[in-house]
Amino acid sequence: MNIALIAHDKKKKAIVQLAQTYEHVLNVHTLYATGTTGTRIMEKTGLSIHRFKSGPLGGDQQIGARISEGTMDMVIFLRDPLTAQPHEPDVNALIRLSDVYEIPLATNASTAVLLLKELENISEI
Ligand SMILES: O=C(CO)COP(=O)(O)O
């Protein structure tokens, strides 16, 4: 699967922890991320990630484009709902496209864990 990993700044620690815990699940998939998120995860894990631009510079839109082209299968996007983002329209567009194309989308860590556990189960079958 092609999986996108994204986190707003206050959620970077959480996505790194998630990637460390589920590294054994993620490492059989093709991973993508927005710029800073990808760098942080690669610093702390052995995962190889294709990095798009940073979110505020168009990274969310690049991932949205992949969704519309049918080449992104899952999105884990740990949003910060308590901080205004300068690129809020891009964030909303990415979430909207995930729903338009019915891509599994986790916007918080609890949902991300459920998706990753399901991926783990599927890969064991
Ligand atoms: O802003 C983001 C998503 O909207 C994340 O971008 P970075 O991973 O570059 O911080």
Question: What structural domains does the chain harbor?
Answer: 2-124 (3.40.50.1380)
CA of 54 to the centre of ligand 1 (A): 5
Q: Can you give the pTM of this predicted structure?
A: 0.97
Pocket probe for ligand 1: among 6, 50, 87, the residue whose CB has the most ligand atoms within 8 Å is 6
Does residue 99 have an active-site annotation?
Answer: no
Amino acid at position 115, single letter: L
Q: What is the pLDDT of residues 21-70, one digit of tens each?
A: 999 999 999 999 999 999 999 999 999 999 999 999 999 999 999 999 99
> How many other CB atoms sit within 10 Å of the CB of residue 108?
14
Report the C-alpha gap between 43 and 94 in whole angstroms.
26
Flag whether 46 is marked binding.
no
Q: How confident is the model at residue 122 (pLDDT cuts 50, 70, 90)?
A: confident
Say if ligand 1 is within 6 A of residue 8 CB: yes
Say if ligand 1 is within 6 A of residue 34 CB: yes
User: Residues 38, 51: contact at Cβ < 8 Å?
Assistant: yes
The H-or-E segment that residue 6 falls in is strand 2-7
Give the percent of the chain with pLDDT over 90: 97
ipTM over 0.90: yes
Say if ligand 1 is within 6 A of residue 60 CB: yes
User: Residues 44, 22: contact at Cβ < 8 Å?
Assistant: no
